[in-house]
Structure 1
Amino acid sequence: MVDWAQMRDCWFEVDRVPDLLERVERDDDADAWKELGWRLVLEHDLVSPASFAALPRLVHLAPRSAEARGLAGEILERAAGHHGCDDLLADCAGAIAEFRKVLERHLRSWPADYLVSFRALLSVEEEYHWAAVLGDFKDDFYPLACPHCGVEVTIAIGDYGRYSAIRNWDLGDVERRDLRPVAAEELTGTGRWMHGTAARDGQEALADGIAYLFGNAECPGCASVFNVADEYTSANRPVMQ
């Protein structure tokens, strides 16, 4: 049984979250969902004890609620942060395992909220850096440093092109080099799982973008070739305590 009197939310209050949960469970209240979202997740990766205390109830709603799936995913996306709630997170292990099953079933149905649910599943699988940034590959940018010369490289994957470049704030992306996608059969590990899931579910644009994300890029500065996903992961994956 949750002692809500001890579960402050992101606004350091203890009385609103349980009331809001009851409202969304009873009426699927849009205003309650909106307030619940900013009480459980704030910008700058801030979550609170109430966020993890609410997670099992959100997972219970997740099979029938896009709002619950999205909010539960946002909370888990921040699970690697310095939230001071490790004991509460550990208590959510059963709910997280159930959330994985819910998401896997949901993704196979070709839902309208596919990308949101896919990112939530990435959070469940502790791929936090991809959950935080993966887009629909219409207008995606991944900044990183060349591992050989250190120059800042912009990786672009979108409708406007798929390239590495030097970003010039006056001229735009200059010195463009075409990205080199990886073949599906050459993918391994996380990339193989991400691509295979998207391809299985008929998400062709997502699968194609992932092939570029896990492919190779040429540095416009020194002409060396490096793996995009490896460098982005090295720079952005949280170090688990």
Structure 2
Amino acid sequence: MSGAQDLSAGSRDDAHGIHGRDCYGDVDRVPELLARVEREDDAAAWDELGHRLVLEGDLVFPASFAALPRLVRLAPGSARARGLAGAIVRCGAGGHGCDELLAACAETIAEFSGLLDRHLRSRPDAYVPAFRDLLAAEGHYHWSAVLGDFSDDFYPVPCPHCAVEVTIAIGDYGRYSAIRDWNLGDVDRRDLRPASPEELSGTGRRMHETAVRDGHVVLADGLTHLFGRAECPRCASVFHIADEYEAANRPLM
């Protein structure tokens, strides 16, 4: 089941207004719940909103986009609103059929992006989830979906030269490329070659500069490795990790 697959032309039109169909096909329940959370921080209403607007963690609906402007208005003072709005933006790019809905919310998403950037400057405890939401709001949906906190991260990458699957490890246990063996673990490890901050460009540079600005040392260091280079243990060729990982894993849009 895909929320995108369920979007009819009529439901797309609904998403531009106050109403839109949620995961049950209802058009009235979400506005009622939004009115409740606007009056008071109602935990039960928030829980139901989350379920109706983002089903099973990745399915979104016309009601999700219809609710986004109201969620963004609540977001400066509500962690629940920020989290739900972020989930909608992240998931909206995950399947076919949501392009029009995302485009209709462009101004709201731009507003949300600025809000998240200011929120990150305050160095919240839940920094990485908000960081991923900012990536999605800025259109970097792929990295928003896969980026970890570099405490226990693995990125499988096909070597562009010999096609063997190379495991890239970036975490507390080490920063290396290896061949993963089901019995022996990661074998023939090679140290990664991190990029210097001056070498970074594009998305990698933006991500790194934000993490440095906000004093998130672990994230900043992990990004220099992710956007650095690795040596293939099989053929000894050297390649750019992020380029190969993105090429192999970018979702179809």
TM-score of the pair, normalised by structure 1: 0.92
The structural deviation recorded for 1:127 is 0.7
Q: Which runs of 5+ in 1 are unaligned?
A: none
Q: Distance in 1 between matches of 2:57 and 2:162?
A: 30
Matched, 1:79 2:92: yes
Q: How does 1:36-115 map to 2 (within 5 A)?
A: 36-43=49-56, 45-115=58-128
Secondary structure of 2:149's aligned partner: coil
Secondary structure of 2:144's aligned partner: helix
The structural deviation recorded for 1:81 is 3.1
State the partner residue of 1:2.
Answer: 17
Q: Which runs of 5+ in 2 are unaligned?
A: 1-15
State the partner residue of 1:125.
Answer: 138
Secondary structure of 2:210's aligned partner: helix
Match of 1:27 among 37, 40, 49: 40
Q: Distance in 2 between matches of 1:18 and 1:83?
A: 26
8 Å contact 1:20–1:33 — kept in the other structure?
Answer: yes
Matched, 1:229 2:242: yes
Q: How does 1:185-200 map to 2 (within 5 A)?
A: 185-200=198-213
The structural deviation recorded for 1:36 is 1.7
8 Å contact 1:199–1:207 — kept in the other structure?
Answer: yes
The structural deviation recorded for 1:30 is 2.1
Q: Distance in 2 between matches of 1:9 and 1:122?
A: 25
How many residues end up aligned between the 2 structures?
A: 238
Amino acid at match of 1:17: V
Amino acid at match of 1:47: V
> What is the root-mean-square deviation in Å for CA atoms of aligned residues?
1.8
8 Å contact 1:48–1:83 — kept in the other structure?
Answer: no
Aligned CA distance change for structure 1 residues 165 and 11 (closer, same or farther; 3 Å) = farther
Q: Distance in 1 between matches of 2:181 and 2:25?
A: 42
Identity of aligned residues (%): 70
State the partner residue of 2:228.
Answer: 215
Q: Distance in 2 between matches of 1:74 and 1:116?
A: 10
State the partner residue of 2:160.
Answer: 147
The structural deviation recorded for 1:191 is 0.7
Q: Distance in 1 between matches of 2:60 and 2:168?
A: 30
Q: How does 1:168-207 map to 2 (within 5 A)?
A: 168-207=181-220
Amino acid at match of 1:54: A
State the partner residue of 2:10.
Answer: none
